[in-house]
């Protein structure tokens, strides 16, 4: 008789929680070792999932064992001093193109940030890129501007001053598992006339398009009256590295 009761007892249906209220609960209940909060759809019971995961099949059948195991981890797993002091990422984005996944992360406050770019493909991890940048990372894009089957990552950085001067940190995949820097020349000649920052960079078809307002003499920083200038850069093979070479300049009146 007891055996029949056990067999007929409905099993819990565990689902992983995702909304912001449940994430707040997760942070408050067990912030040191948890990688997920799971809830029984039948009765609302929940438990914290440790980083060293217990199989779902085992947690379904022996719920008491799973809870005891989670409790033992909460008492034994503590972050190192380096992990506890690690700053939260001010910017983080994951982008994938042509079988390569890029992770762009920036940390730090103030006028400089630490930028880290990691990449992986089916063969494994690439050597990461780490650099200090002047300004703040605001956006990242992936593209294959030269159509060679090897993607590039473009990270837009804007200065923190009133001009919001823009620059790119850009890298191309080479040899299937390395990242090579892409050089972008400074503005010069007529292209630089009336330039006072406020750049925007976006991939448009086979171009990296740089757009910025044009200032006339006497314009305030908040009111450029010379329209907008667009420069199309094509990715070409330079002497020592890839280069974004300006090929077309256009200007629209305001």
Whole-number pLDDT of residue 161: 80
Whole-number pLDDT of residue 250: 94
Span of 72-81, 157-166, 216-225 with lowest mean pLDDT: 72-81
Whole-number pLDDT of residue 87: 55
Q: What is the mean pLDDT of residues 200-225?
A: 94
Q: Spell out the domains of the chain, with CATH numbers in brackets.
A: 2-76 (no CATH), 87-252 (2.40.128.460)
Whole-number pLDDT of residue 69: 38
- Strand ranges (E), the chain: 14-16, 34-40, 46-50, 89-97, 100-107, 112-121, 124-125, 129-134, 136-143, 152-158, 166-174, 178-183, 200-204, 207-213, 228-237, 242-252
């Amino acid at each position: 008789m007891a055996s029949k009761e056990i067999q007929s007892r409905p099993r819990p249906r565990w689902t992983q929680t995702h909304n912001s209220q449940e994430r707040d609960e997760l942070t408050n209940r067990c912030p040191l070792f948890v990688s997920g909060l799971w809830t029984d759809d039948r009765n609302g019971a929940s438990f914290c999932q440790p980083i060293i995961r217990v199989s779902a099949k085992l947690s379904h059948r022996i719920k008491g064992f799973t809870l005891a195991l989670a409790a033992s981890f909460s008492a034994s797993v503590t972050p190192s001093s380096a992990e506890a002091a690690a700053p939260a990422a001010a910017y983080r984005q994951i982008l994938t193109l042509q079988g390569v996944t890029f992770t762009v992360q920036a940390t730090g406050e103030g006028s400089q940030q630490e930028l880290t770019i990691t990449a992986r493909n089916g063969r494994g991890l690439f050597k990461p890129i780490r650099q200090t940048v002047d300004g703040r990372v605001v956006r990242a894009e992936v593209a294959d501007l030269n159509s060679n089957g090897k993607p590039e990552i473009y990270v837009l950085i804007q200065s923190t001053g009133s001009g919001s001067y823009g620059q790119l940190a850009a890298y191309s995949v080479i040899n299937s598992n390395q990242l090579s820097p892409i050089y972008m020349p400074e503005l010069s000649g007529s292209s630089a006339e009336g330039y006072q920052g406020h750049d925007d960079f976006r991939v448009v078809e086979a171009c990296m398009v740089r757009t910025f307002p044009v200032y006339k003499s006497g314009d305030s920083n908040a009111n450029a009256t010379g329209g907008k200038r667009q420069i199309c850069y094509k990715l070409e093979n330079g002497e020592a590295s890839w280069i974004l070479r300006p090929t077309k300049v256009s200007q629209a009146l305001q």
